[in-house]
Amino acid sequence: MAPVLAELEREGLLESGEKGFQLTSRGSGEAQGIYQKHKEVEHLWGHKVAHTLEHYEGALEILPGIGPKRKRIEEFREGEEGIIAYLTVENPIIISRLIGLGLAPGTLFRVRKRREDLWILEINGRLVAIDKRLASGMEGIPR
């Protein structure tokens, strides 16, 4: 038996039988939850972005709070805090880089410096500079 299948069986998500493997009721529930999260992310950010973000739990925790409270990052004032709520960047490579810098949905940020063409955000104790093009494609929920 493949190690991954044995692990799923130990976790009670999969069971083996005469006809092969099948999901347990718990496994089926977990699979349905993963699928639902994927559909929610895909609805907000599109198919390509969903594949980049589908395993990022922080993005999903804030889904109910996004609504009308969100605003573009470029509208935040210096010193204002927010939670990143939305990325309209369509290039999955750029999205992966943004996530690597900590600019992922669900992340707390503070605008440290703001100019007409540049924003310096503090994220988890690090400073990240983004230009106007990226700032216009990001939205946050004020805190």
Cβ count near 8 (within 10 Å) = 19
3-state class of 111 per DSSP? strand
Task: Tell me if the pTM is above 0.75.
Answer: no
Task: Give the tens place of pLDDT for each residue, 9-41.
Answer: 899 988 988 888 888 999 888 888 777 777 776
User: Rounded to an integer, what distance in angstroms lies between the CA atom of residue 15 and that of residue 48?
Assistant: 32
Contact yes or no for 44/90 (Cβ under 8 A): no
The H or E element that residue 32 is part of is helix 25-45
The CA distances from residue 106 to 92, 123, 141, in Å, are 18, 11, 9
Q: Domain ranges in the chain?
A: 3-45, 58-142
The answer as to CATH 1.10.10.10 being correct for domain 58-142 is no
